[in-house]
Amino acid sequence: MLVSFGFNALSSDMEKEVTIYDIARILEISPATVSRALNDHPAINSKTKILIREKANEMGYRSNTFASNLRRRSTNTLGVIVPRLNSHFMSAVLAGMEQEANESGYNLLISQSLESVKREIANAKTMFNSRVDGLLVSVAYDTDTFEHFENFIKKDIPVLFFDRIIDHPKCSGVVIDNVLAGFEATSHLIRQGCKNIIHVTGNLKRNVYSGRLLGYQRAMAENNLVLSEDLIFITDLSQEAGINTAQRIDKIEIKPDGIFISNDICAVSCMKALTEKGYSIPADIAVVGFNNDPVSKVIEPNLTTIYYPGQQMGKVAVRSIVNHLKGTELIDVSGIITLSTELIVRGSSSR
């Protein structure tokens, strides 16, 4: 969600912006000389540069970088649309993006869809109208169309998806191998002796959740364990979903001995609720989460989880799009960049 602040357009009450023409008039020199001096042009001697810079500072002159960039048909700005800002994973991604963008001379314009395709469409329009040089997107829960990104493609503005992606012939993406991660999480529970394993997941429209589900199913099938739709809980992976999952488990006749949850926040909430109901973790029910959020090391026992390289994902995504814009390495639209994950075993699953 982009937030703008409105002000009353009372020009008589607003201080006029200082221009190079104002500085030139005061110093009785040409505007071209002022411009060259402020841009450190070698044709202007150092004494004149110092004089002009001091006067510019005194008058409160601000360089209009945006207008200058527009003349070069570039804003040196990348747009970023994320589902939510209030998650450890997304904070890590944005930290990586910010670091890489700063090192490459780019700024980020960040917005959140709040898991709504309508907001995502509005954010994409704002990014397009803001003339971003490239767009990085992790799509909302209910996004099922590419139409709101078509204008970028028509204008040859690169679009790169990360984490939650949309398959498109002219876009690349940065992801993890969610199938492998789901397989490893479930296989770990099976090695601990679990046979009746519940998988708590999110909207299966999204590649991240459908991939983890597929990994879970493969691990169960390879170990000749029963696969049942009754063992798959589709939720929004919120704290409330974790509590609701514990309540469902408490009511069913055949209790699970293992749970693989696609989000640490939901997993921790579920663990806490199960413990309050008298279940022992991991003796009664072993639990594995996903993301390696800080909360995974706060709960007792500590949560076994999948390390998700968020900061690396942010760096790689920005590096890819910047290299494409600079012409040093064009984005391979035929391929997806896949980053490695790691299973971190802790007390919630170790028997």
Reported as a single tens digit per residue, the pLDDT across 121-179 is 999 999 999 899 999 999 999 999 999 999 999 999 999 999 999 989 889 999 999 99
How many Å apart are CA 118 and CA 123, to the nearest integer? 9
Contact 305, 290 (CB under 8 A): yes
Residue 261 DSSP SS3: strand
How many residues can be counted in the chain?
A: 351
Spans of all domains in the chain: 16-63, 75-176+310-338, 178-309
Confirm whether 75-176+310-338 and 178-309 share one CATH topology.
Answer: yes
How large is the average pLDDT for residues 249-255? 95
Tally of CA atoms within 13 A in the half-sphere of 225 that contains its CB: 22
Which tokens go with 238?
């919120």
Q: Is the pLDDT confidence value at 265 over 70?
A: yes
Distance of CA 2 to the CA centre of its chain: 15
β-pair type (159-162, 134-137): parallel
Residue 2 DSSP SS3: coil
Other C-beta atoms within 10 Å of 184: how many? 17
Q: Is the pLDDT confidence value at 338 over 70?
A: yes
Beta strands in 143-285 (DSSP E): 159-162, 172-176, 197-201, 232-234, 258-261
Output 3 or 126, whichever has higher pLDDT.
Answer: 126
Tell me what the pLDDT averaged over the chain comes to. 91
Side chain identity at residue 12, one-letter code: S
Question: Residue 308: pLDDT band by 50, 70, 90 thresholds?
Answer: very high
Q: Is the pLDDT confidence value at 1 over 60?
A: no
pTM of the model: 0.79
How large is the average pLDDT for residues 7-12? 39
How many Å apart are CA 76 and CA 314, to the nearest integer? 17
Given its phi and psi angles, is residue 81 left (phi above 0), alpha (psi -120 to 50 degrees) or beta? beta
Residue 328: per-residue pLDDT: 83
The CATH number for 75-176+310-338, chosen from 3.40.50.2300, 3.40.462.10, 3.90.25.10, 3.30.70.3000, is 3.40.50.2300
How many Å apart are CA 7 and CA 68, to the nearest integer? 25
CATH 3.30.1300.30 applies to domain 16-63: no
Residue 334: per-residue pLDDT: 61
Name residues whose C-beta falls within 8 Å of residue 75's C-beta, 6 or more positions apart in sequence.
Answer: 66, 69, 130, 131, 132, 133
Residue 303: per-residue pLDDT: 98
Quick one: which of 211, 311, 297 has its CA closest to 260?
211
Quick one: which of 249, 302, 317, 298 has its CA closest to 278?
249
Side chain identity at residue 270, one-letter code: C
Residue 66: per-residue pLDDT: 56
How many Å apart are CA 186 and CA 211, to the nearest integer? 13
CATH 3.30.43.10 applies to domain 178-309: no
Sign of CA dihedral 17, 21, 27, 32: positive
